[in-house]
Amino acid sequence: MSESISESGKGPLPEGEDTEILDACFAPGIEPDDIAPFWALRQKTLTLRAFVTLFRGSETDVLLRLLVLSEMVSRVDPPWWGMGELRHAFGYLSGTALETVLKRLRDGGLISYDRETNSYSVTTPGQKVQSAVNLFLKNEEDEGIGMLTGLVYAGEVAGTLGKEEFEHLLYRLNQLEKEMIGAVESMSEHRILKARERYQSIWKYIEKGTDIIKKITRNTELDRASHKLAQQIGHAQSRLAKFTSIFQRALNDMDRQRIHLGNSGVSTSDLNRYLMNLDSNTLIELLDDVVGVPVMPAFLLSDIVADIAEYELIDRERQSPEDWILPEIIESPPTDESFSDDLALLETLHSEVSSIDGEKSLAELVPKRNYEESVYRLSMISLIGAKGEYGNSQVTGFINLPLRIDFNDGIETVMREGVKTISEGTISRKGQ
């Protein structure tokens, strides 16, 4: 006979000490089982106990239990272990530590012991817990999108898909979108570059998730609430898909506003990075006889000033220090010739868009030779219609062309010139 924990005893916890502790956590007059979400959790108490068994105790205890359980699950032929085999497999553990871990896993129902065969095996709750841990650890660097998308796909295949899986994925997508928008609106080059790096790491999961959601929304058996959530997820994925051009546009705007110190090759961004990598003592030396102590204006509220200072000194995310030195400053050459950029790519693009008569799709116009040039062409086209002077007559002439750019919510497949997909959109002459 094997000993393990089953779920035949579902129901409220027994009266006694646990009930008294539970009642103390709720407001007076509130019956815990009247709270529907809490009541649903209580019905799964024995299942949740498997997680409590695995993760209760010190970090060392948890790591040892995970180690033993994962090794036991990994052997499928045969799926049971004799005590001698366990001692041999875990020879690097002391006998006391191994026996303590096995007892804890057995008491929690994660493994069972068969007296007839004198062997251990992993129970169904143990397999579920180990699978959940593996899924969590494998998707550690995907911002949660990969794991949540996988759960939606698994639920759809197994026929167990519910609104909870949709809600979790939608919540994470909306959260990521807010973080990306915050990075762009901050106008901080460091935050934008970091957000773009995060975005590129999760892009493949967004693409796969888009295909999965399209398939799910075509399922006529899906209930109305879940179908609505699936559509909202699709809209959120479409909005995230546009951030490639949004990031590039923001970086282009910052590049136009960057101030260069003459023709020395050093910009204000270079100077900022150099100062950020200096220690406090060096900065103090640089400020000697340069910055005076200002008079505190009476109209400034000290608590607000302290709050802002606390954010700048403690909460604000700083760029991590790196080995970097300020570029060597070169004396500006004694010449009246102005610095000119190589605008060959812009001239080619200007010629192509000027000849447009009617309407043309971006998927047809933008791709050119390779991915880098295609990105440049899309970023320049997105500036058409923007107001202001851009310090170069050719750039100004290009953005003032009488053309109209319309972006749609969809994604169009290209598969040429190094471009896989591009945001759907058209370019046409104004008034047509």
Give dist(CA 107, CA 125) in Å, integer.
12
Residue type (1 letter), 358: G
The CATH label, of 3.40.630, 3.30.1370, 2.20.70, 3.80.30, for the domain at 344-429 is: 3.30.1370
Q: What are the residue ranges spanned by the domains of the chain?
A: 2-137, 141-250, 263-294, 344-429
- Provide the pLDDT for residue 260: 66
Strands 111-114 and 359-361: unpaired
Q: What is the mean pLDDT of the chain?
A: 79
Lowest mean pLDDT among 104-108, 214-218, 279-283: 214-218
Domain at 2-137: CATH code: 1.10.10.10
Q: CB of 374 within 8 A of CB of 381?
A: no
Give dist(CA 238, CA 227) in Å, integer.
17
Task: Evaluate the CA torsion angle 198, 204, 206, 209 in order and state its sign.
Answer: negative
pLDDT tens track for 185-195:
888 878 888 88
76 alpha-carbon distance from chain centroid: 35
pTM over 0.75: no
pLDDT band at 34 (very low <50, low <70, confident <90, very high): confident
pLDDT tens track for 122-180:
988 888 888 888 877 776 666 677 777 777 877 777 677 777 888 888 888 888 889 88
pLDDT tens track for 74-98:
887 788 888 888 889 899 999 899 9
- Of the chain, the percentage scoring pLDDT greater than 70 comes to 80
Q: What share of the chain is helix, strand, coil (3-state, %, to 5)?
A: 55, 10, 35
Strands 119-122 and 80-82: antiparallel
Give dist(CA 71, CA 222) in Å, integer.
39
pLDDT band at 334 (very low <50, low <70, confident <90, very high): low
